[in-house]
Every structure is written in structure tokens, then in C-alpha cells.
């Protein structure tokens, strides 16, 4: 039996067990899967959520974490929650726009001025309206989580100006907004699942990639990348997804527990993203990366103008401004 079959069998067995367990006291074991390592902010978030949910539910719900893409890359995890083979998943918005197109607006570069701004938007009415779109696409999102502001790494040269980035072959997420932005900057965007990225960097299939400090750290990219530029070019939101097949079987009280526990997980995750962003650069330097701190952000924004025009056309300038200028 291959892994996928094993997974499916497990899911079917779980469904049968749950279906047969009518007593409210029966314990439910659920898997929460993600693509990052056990040292990552996603793991910190999953653990905090698991502890809180066990407590809140009096031991009824046990979350078992599956990390490091062992149940699939982010796209497979989203699909898995959709069809019910994955119970819960933490994923970046990287692949989400291919399922819930309205979410793509959040992937526009330089949309958020900082973490407070991003949290205010996502935790407010705009974020809620977007979460409400998921069920139309066979998904259910418990909360906005966090991956962080992304920074460019590569093996060719330090990047401070957009002209330094021209011609670099950069792995991007499977995300059309990101690809458009990198193409506009004169880079060669190569969409690829995160699972394949370390090897691609090691073998030189691509020159570089971009990710938040916490991902660069926890994925050991310093081993295969020389230059880090603190471009902070785009904020990368994440989500805690729950399979509709699990969600629909919960009572209202239980749904409330999952929502509250997800919030606790998000808080822990955001704290870890922040501490990695603040302390991780020193670690990456120690690990041998050459860090360009003074990136010409204004020049990057200017060079992106043609992409911003495309995004205005696609999403509506008003909707973009509503996010950009949002005040709680």
C-alpha cells in the first residue's frame, strides 16, 4: 500500500470510528499537517492550538501534528482538507488563490506596511469577509495565521536595487500574483512546491528563492544560499484550514472550541514569526549568509508599477486601497 492509500485508509477508518462513536465522551484524534519543519512557527502554532483544544474540550479532541510536508506539499494539503483525507492544515496563501481567487489580493507586494497593519486587516471585517468565501470552494478556514514578510535569497550576488535582481532565476510559490511581480522586476519566476525547494537550491536549478526569516532559518537555507536581502517585499499570510467533513460533524459548542483554540495557535505563531524576524538574521549571518540590510525599497516599489497597474485592473483600486489604508 503506498502512502496515499495508507492515508486514505486511515481517513476512512477514522471516519468510520467517529461515525460509530455516538457517546459525547469519545476521543477524536485529528491530524494537523503543514509543510515546514518541527522548528518552525507553524509547529509552534500547531502545538499551542493542540494544547488549548485538548484543555478546552476536556480531552475530547486530540490534534496530532504532521510536519515537513510528510502528508504532501501545501497544494496537496489544501486539496486534502477539501476531500477529507486531511483533517486540519496550516498553509500559506501561496496556493490558496488557486482555490479561493478573492484571497489573491492579499498577495500583492508592499500592500501591508508592517505586522500590526496586516493583523488589523486580517482580524477585522476585510479578513472575515475573505474567510467567509472559503465554504463556496469546498474549504473551511478557522483563522488567519501567519508566515511573515518575505525576503529574497540567492547564490549569484547581493541584491540592494531592483537592477541587481534582474535575470535571477527565482523559485516562487505557485501563485500568479507573485509570479507577475517577479516577472515585472525582470526576474525569471519558477513556480515550485516548497517540498522541492531545498534540492533545487542545492543543485542550482534555481538561483534563489524568497521566504520569511523563520522559514529560511527552519529550512536550513543558509546551507544552500549565500546572499540574503531584507526586501520584505510581500507579507505572506497563512491559514488554519479544517476539512468541511470534520467541521460539518461538529456541534456548535465544538465549533466554538476549534475557533478559540485556533486563535490561541495564531497568537503563538505570530509571536514566533516576530521573534524569528528580530533575532534570526544574526543566526543566519553566523551560518554564513551575507546580509544586505539597506535595500532600496522605494526603487523596488517603483519598478513594480506596471504590475500594480495589472493588479488594480484585476482586483479594483478601491479594494486595494481599502486594505492599504485600513485603520481599525
Q: CB of residue 15 vs ligand EAX: minimum separation in angstroms?
A: 27
What would you report as the CA-atom Rg of the chain, rounded to the nearest whole angstrom?
20
Residues 200-219: x where in contact with ligand EAX by CB under 6 A, - otherwise, as a string: -----------x---x----
Is residue 173 a contact point for ligand EAX (CB under 6 A)? yes
- Of 37 and 296, nearer to ligand EAX (C-beta) is 37
Q: Helix (H, G, I), strand (E, B), or coil: what is residue 173?
A: coil
- Give the number of residues in contact with ligand EAX, rule: CB under 6 A: 11
Is residue 74 a contact point for ligand EAX (CB under 6 A)? yes
- Measure the CA–CA gap between 28 and 88, rounded to whole angstroms: 13
- Of 69 and 261, nearer to ligand EAX (C-beta) is 69
- Of 254 and 272, nearer to ligand EAX (C-beta) is 272
Instruction: Look at residues 164, 159, 168 and name the one whose alpha carbon lies nearest to residue 205.
Output: 168
Q: CB of residue 321 vs ligand EAX: minimum separation in angstroms?
A: 26
Is residue 194 a contact point for ligand EAX (CB under 6 A)? yes
Q: CB of residue 70 vs ligand EAX: minimum separation in angstroms?
A: 13
User: How far is CA 10 from each of CA 1, 39, 105, 243, rounded to the nearest angstrom?
Assistant: 12, 27, 36, 15
Joined together, the cell numbers standing for residue 252 give: 456548535
**Cα–chain-centroid distance for residue 325?**
23
Tell me the Ramachandran region of residue 82: left when phi exceeds 0, alpha when psi lies from -120 to 50, beta otherwise.
Answer: alpha
Is residue 36 a contact point for ligand EAX (CB under 6 A)? yes
Tell me the Ramachandran region of residue 148: left when phi exceeds 0, alpha when psi lies from -120 to 50, beta otherwise.
Answer: left
Q: CB of residue 190 vs ligand EAX: minimum separation in angstroms?
A: 12
Is residue 236 a contact point for ligand EAX (CB under 6 A)? yes
Residues 275-314: x where in contact with ligand EAX by CB under 6 A, - otherwise, as a string: ----------------------------------------
- Measure the CA–CA gap between 313 and 171, rounded to whole angstroms: 26
Q: CB of residue 87 vs ligand EAX: minimum separation in angstroms?
A: 18
The correct pick among 92, 151, 154, 292 for binding ligand EAX (CB under 6 A) is 92
Phi, psi of 230 (to 5 degrees): -80, 70
Angle at 34 between CA 29 and CA 39, to 5 degrees: 105
Q: CB of residue 201 vs ligand EAX: minimum separation in angstroms?
A: 12
The correct pick among 94, 97, 127, 280 for binding ligand EAX (CB under 6 A) is 94
Pairing of strands 227-242, 88-92: antiparallel
State the SS3 of 23-47. Answer: CCCCCEEEEEEECCCCCCHHHHHHH
Q: Which residues lie near ligand EAX (CB under 6 A)? A: 35-36, 74, 92, 94, 147, 173, 194, 211, 215, 236
Amino acid at each position: 500500500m503506498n502512502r496515499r492509500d495508507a492515508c486514505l485508509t486511515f481517513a476512512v477508518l477514522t471516519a468510520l470510528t467517529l461515525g460509530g462513536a455516538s457517546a459525547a465522551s469519545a476521543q477524536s484524534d485529528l491530524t494537523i499537517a503543514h509543510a515546514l519543519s518541527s522548528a518552525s512557527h507553524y509547529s509552534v502554532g500547531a502545538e499551542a492550538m493542540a494544547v488549548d483544544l485538548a484543555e478546552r474540550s476536556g480531552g475530547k479532541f486530540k490534534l496530532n501534528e504532521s510536519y515537513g510536508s510528510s502528508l504532501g506539499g501545501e497544494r496537496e494539503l489544501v486539496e486534502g482538507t477539501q476531500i477529507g483525507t486531511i483533517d486540519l492544515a496550516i498553509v500559506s496563501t501561496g496556493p490558496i488563490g488557486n482555490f479561493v481567487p478573492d484571497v489573491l489580493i492579499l498577495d500583492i507586494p508592499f500592500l501591508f506596511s508592517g505586522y500590526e497593519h496586516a493583523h488589523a486587516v486580517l482580524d477585522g471585517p476585510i479578513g472575515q469577509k475573505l474567510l467567509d468565501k472559503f465554504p463556496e470552494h469546498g474549504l473551511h478556514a478557522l483563522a488567519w495565521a501567519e508566515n511573515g514578510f518575505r525576503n529574497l535569497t540567492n547564490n549569484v550576488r547581493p541584491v540592494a536595487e531592483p537592477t541587481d535582481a534582474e535575470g535571477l532565476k527565482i523559485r516562487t510559490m505557485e501563485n500568479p500574483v507573485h509570479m507577475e511581480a517577479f516577472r515585472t522586476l525582470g526576474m525569471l519566476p519558477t513556480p515550485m512546491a516548497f517540498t522541492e525547494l531545498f534540492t533545487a537550491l542545492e543543485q542550482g536549478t534555481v538561483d534563489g528563492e524568497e521566504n520569511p526569516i523563520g522559514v529560511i532559518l527552519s529550512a536550513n537555507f543558509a546551507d544552500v544560499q549565500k546572499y540574503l536581502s531584507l526586501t520584505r517585499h510581500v507579507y505572506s499570510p497563512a491559514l488554519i484550514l479544517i476539512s468541511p467533513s470534520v467541521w460539518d460533524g461538529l456541534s456548535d459548542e465544538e465549533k466554538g472550541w476549534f475557533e478559540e483554540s485556533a486563535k490561541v495557535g495564531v497568537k503563538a505563531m505570530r509571536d514566533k514569526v516576530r521573534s524569528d524576524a528580530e533575532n534570526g538574521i544574526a543566526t543566519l549571518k553566523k551560518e554564513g549568509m551575507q546580509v544586505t540590510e539597506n535595500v532600496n525599497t522605494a526603487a523596488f516599489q517603483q519598478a513594480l508599477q506596471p504590475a500594480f497597474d495589472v493588479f488594480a485592473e484585476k482586483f479594483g483600486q478601491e479594494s486595494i486601497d481599502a486594505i492599504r489604508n485600513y485603520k481599525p
